[in-house]
Structure 1
Amino acid sequence: MLLRLCERIEAEQPPNLEALYALTQAATEEFNLLEAEFEAAGSEIETVAREWIAEEFWLVASAYGFTDADAEELIAGRDW
């Protein structure tokens, strides 16, 4: 999912944070669907994994030059 996010950033080259946030929200939705699959199987994404995923969103953003991105805004729509 994060690799797909990187591919989209490279393909679409978001010009500003608003455009980046739109891309990260789409990726966040993918993780939400994954969490739903875990729940259906009687499990969940563990706390450490949740924190790691959130950090990775910020690392991706900063790697593409968006060092001023708000970490919480990157994953604002998360259900995990």
Structure 2
Amino acid sequence: MNIGNQQVTAHPFLTALYADGYYPDHVVDRGKAILLRLCERIEAERPADLAALYVLTQAATDEFNALQDDDFDIETVAREEIAGDFWFVAHAYGFADADDEELIATRDW
């Protein structure tokens, strides 16, 4: 599926992580793919309210949890960058009232 939201297609996800040599690009690519799949799911499922959005964002957060278990150290810089991109996605799809913490409530990082 192609992403139709112009804000999303123009957004450079996880830029601080790509710019920091501590994070290997191939691992950051996996994180970016998680966020893009989230956008695809939002467009496909069209959540009607915040509760439905949180189900999708928390599933994506679980994917980041698994990525961390594999080979990605999600420390302060990464945490803030990832959380910021979840916030961006929520706002790009019209959920301006989304709670930053609730979007990623299932995180273990």
State the TM-score, normalized to the length of structure 1: 0.91
Match of 1:68?
Answer: 97
Question: Which aligned runs of 4 or more in structure 1 are off by greater than 6 angstroms?
Answer: none
1:1-80 to 2 correspondences below 5 Å: 1-38=34-71, 44-80=73-109
Distance across 1 between alignment mates of 2:102 and 2:75: 21
Q: Secondary structure at the match of 1:68?
A: coil
State the TM-score, normalized to the length of structure 2: 0.67
Taking CA–CA contacts closer than 8 Å with sequence separation of 6 or more, which of the two structures ends up with the larger relative contact order? 1
What percentage of aligned pairs have identical amino acids? 71
Distance across 1 between alignment mates of 2:51 and 2:37: 19
Structure 1: runs of 5+ lacking an equivalent: none
Structure 2: runs of 5+ lacking an equivalent: 1-33
Number of residues of Structure 1 aligned to a counterpart in Structure 2: 76
